[in-house]
Chain A
């Protein structure tokens, strides 16, 4: 059972937000980061529904994580 989707884009239902610090984050970057996470989620869901092969999954995940990483580094 794999739930990357729900872990990644965690909702705010019953969530305790304890001083999550998002300052110093340019809105643009936040947006891009969110978009890549959304893509990761989409990839995961498609993989789960057998719409994407494991090989393709790994390839795309790697690309997306690298992009995410480079965004974080520029922060």
Chain B
């Protein structure tokens, strides 16, 4: 178990700090480090590439909301000024020297990825059918389901087991069709505006899409407009969760071997 209380450097993200390639410059981003101790977010720079870190005990942080939020907020803070390469949650290096060694070792990759991410942002979109609306809609749309429902409404429940099961299956199939239609519409509309699209898992029978889009900054307005158009036409049936300008967690996530293992 890794429960030592030795102090190390918690790494949040990688940035290009100094175009001139120096190592002296250092920057701070506020006392918002993980672990609730008010540790200052600062940089460790090597040849112009910097790791944004805060002091932290060398422990394994549990993947709770309480820990995830500061990890994410720190990267968001840095992102206000810099293109960031998010480092995987819970990455802690022994000391400053080790962080510099990591930068030295991965220098070319960091430079390439920073170049690839520059001027782009991640945008997240989730969509889910509204429970009270979608089932009514399906019933209105499908006469055959309605008919069976009406037929059995006058019968005793124990006489209609098979029919009720049948209705359940038909509703499920109809819901699946609706999801497919809306998902395709969303992807067809938004994907052309994105450099990359990543579809994540959906959960529950009413969720339509859970996707992240990597979008160039100068196309963001257009992207926004399209999302609003989709929301306007389908907003009666669908609830959208639209999150703009987050660190590109879905497109870069550095797993760094810190030499602690």
* A residues at B contact (CB < 8 Å): 1-8, 10-11, 13-21, 37-38, 40-42, 44-46, 48-51, 57, 61, 65, 68-69, 72-73
State the CA gap A13–B243 with chains docked (Å).
20
Query: Smallest CB–CB gap between B58 and chain A, Å?
Result: 16
- Chain B CB within 10 Å — which of A1, A16, A20, A41 has the most? A16
Q: Is the CB of A48 within 8 A of B126?
A: yes
**Cα(A49)–Cα(B1), bound, Å:** 36
Among B69, B88, B89, B203, the residue within 8 A (CB) of A45 is B203
Minimum distance in angstroms from A47 CB to a CB of chain B: 9
Please list 30 pairs of residues, one from A and one from B, whose beta carbons are closer than 8 Å in the complex, sorted by A's number: A1-B243, A1-B246, A2-B65, A2-B69, A3-B68, A3-B246, A4-B68, A6-B250, A6-B253, A7-B71, A7-B88, A11-B250, A11-B253, A13-B251, A15-B252, A15-B253, A15-B255, A16-B106, A17-B255, A20-B255, A20-B257, A21-B257, A37-B63, A41-B201, A42-B203, A46-B203, A49-B126, A51-B204, A68-B62, A68-B63
Given known pairs A4-B63, A45-B126, A48-B241, the reply for A16 and B200 (CB within 8 Å) is no
Q: How large is the interface on B (under 10, 10 to 19, 20 to 34, 35 or more residues)?
A: 35 or more
Report the minimum CB–CB distance from A9 to chain B (whole Å): 8
**20 extra interface residue pairs, beta carbon distance < 8 Å, beyond A20-B257, A41-B201:** A1-B246, A3-B243, A7-B71, A7-B86, A7-B249, A8-B63, A8-B89, A11-B198, A13-B198, A13-B250, A16-B256, A17-B255, A40-B63, A46-B203, A46-B204, A48-B241, A49-B207, A61-B64, A68-B62, A69-B62
Interface residues of B in 62-89 (CB under 8 A from A): 62-65, 68-69, 71-72, 76, 86, 88-89
Q: Enumerate chain B residues within 8 angstroms of A14, measured Cβ to Cβ.
A: 113, 116, 251-253
Query: A49 near B249 (CB under 8 angstroms)?
Result: no
Residues of B close to A72: CB separation below 8 A: 60
- Contact status B257-A18, CB under 8 Å: yes
Report the bound CA distance from A7 to B179 in whole Å: 26
Chain B contacts to A: CB under 8 angstroms? 1, 60, 62-65, 68-69, 71-72, 76, 86, 88-89, 105-106, 109, 113, 116, 124, 126, 128, 196, 198, 200-204, 207, 210, 212, 239, 241, 243, 246, 249-257, 261
Q: Is the CB of A10 within 8 A of B62?
A: no
- Tell me whether A3 and B106 are in contact (CB under 8 A): no
Q: Are B254 and A15 in contact (CB under 8 A)?
A: yes
A7 touches B204 (CB 8 A): no
Contact of B72 among A7, A13, A46, A49 (CB under 8 A): A7
| 5 shortest interchain CB distances as A-B pairs | A10-B253, A6-B249, A18-B257, A42-B203, A19-B257
